[in-house]
């Protein structure tokens, strides 16, 4: 991701793959439409995707780069006339309720988002008939949920995964994995750590996400990686 005010080669790059917005994914499965995390760029991301329907939002964790765009779900309220279902663990829901108190107020100002929250724990759950398996990972000291849906697994914001949780990832065909930068970080995998985990899992294809400007130019970094491991970029579509 470019850093505001930075003049490094990545932040100055004209390659669209170096123009990263905050990490988030859209999942289309069984005729349903889901988003994992609504970061500060959520509005811009769904506009670019021309996403005209959204059935539910799931949250990995409560950091602002994954939640700040929640207000924009109101556009989907207007379209569907329905409350937006939101799935997150209790601590994440509690923080959303504090940080977006106007959304959860008893007497709402007209036009504010309408949401319906569901608390999730580390057990598989269904959203509109689609099975999500949470995978608990650690982001320094903060537990974060990744999600497996069929043979697709999304793990962002982590620097540790326990063997029992990793067992849920094995066999996945597509793995999306956090790889922030080359130098050690307190709460994110480095490139080497992410490559090592990707090799252990052995998915058909692994895509790295949550990439900092410090990782290097997209083109250069991909050249160093095995062909089964690629860097994600904004707008990348993956089919299973
Ligand atoms: Zn930079
Ligand atoms: Zn985070
Ligand atoms: Zn993050």
DSSP readout, 173-191?
SEEEEE--BSS--SSS-BH
230 Cα–ligand 3 center, Å: 19
24 Cα–ligand 3 center, Å: 9
d(C-alpha 168, C-alpha 82), whole Å? 33
Residues 72-131: pLDDT tens digits? 999 999 999 999 999 999 999 999 999 999 999 999 999 999 999 999 999 999 999 999
* Protein residues with C-beta less than 5 angstroms from the ion ligand 1: 3, 6, 8, 11, 213
pLDDT at 131 (0 to 100): 98
Q: What share of the chain is helix, strand, coil (3-state, %, to 5)?
A: 25, 25, 45
Residue 104 DSSP class:
S
Residues 36-48: pLDDT tens digits? 999 999 999 999 9
Please report which helix (H) or strand (E) contains residue 207, including its range: strand 205-209
Residue bearing tokens 């959860």: 104
Ligand located closest to 1 CA? 1
Residue bearing tokens 């090799």: 199
Residues 23-36: pLDDT tens digits? 999 999 999 999 99
110 Cα–ligand 3 center, Å: 31
Residue 220 φ/ψ, nearest 5 degrees: -70, -45
Residues 197-237: pLDDT tens digits? 999 999 999 999 999 999 999 999 999 999 999 999 999 99
Residue 212 DSSP class:
-
175 Cα–ligand 1 center, Å: 27
Paired with 212 in beta bridges are: none
12 Cα–ligand 3 center, Å: 22
């Amino acid at each position: 991701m470019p850093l505001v005010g930075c003049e490094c080669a990545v932040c100055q790059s004209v390659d669209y793959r170096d123009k990263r917005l905050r990490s988030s994914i859209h999942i289309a499965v069984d005729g349903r439409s889901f988003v994992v995390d609504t970061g500060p760029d959520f509005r811009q991301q769904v506009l670019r995707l021309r996403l005209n329907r959204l059935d539910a939002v799931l949250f990995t964790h409560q950091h602002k780069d994954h939640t700040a765009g929640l207000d924009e779900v109101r556009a989907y309220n207007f379209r569907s006339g329905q409350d937006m279902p939101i799935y997150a663990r209790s601590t994440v829901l509690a923080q959303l309720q504090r940080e977006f108190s106007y959304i959860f107020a008893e007497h709402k100002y007209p036009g504010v988002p309408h949401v319906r929250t569901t608390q999730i724990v580390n057990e598989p759950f269904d959203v509109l008939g689609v099975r999500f398996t949470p995978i608990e990972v650690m982001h320094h000291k903060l537990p974060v949920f990744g999600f497996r849906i069929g043979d697709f697994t999304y793990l962002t914001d982590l620097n540790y995964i326990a063997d029992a949780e990793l067992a849920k990832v094995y066999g996945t065909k597509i793995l999306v994995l956090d790889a922030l930068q080359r130098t050690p970080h307190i709460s994110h995998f480095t490139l080497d750590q992410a490559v090592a985990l990707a090799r252990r899992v052995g998915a058909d294809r692994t895509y790295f996400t949550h990439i900092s400007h410090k990782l290097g130019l997209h083109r250069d970094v991909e050249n160093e990686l095995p062909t089964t491991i690629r860097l994600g970029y904004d707008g990348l579509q993956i089919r299973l």
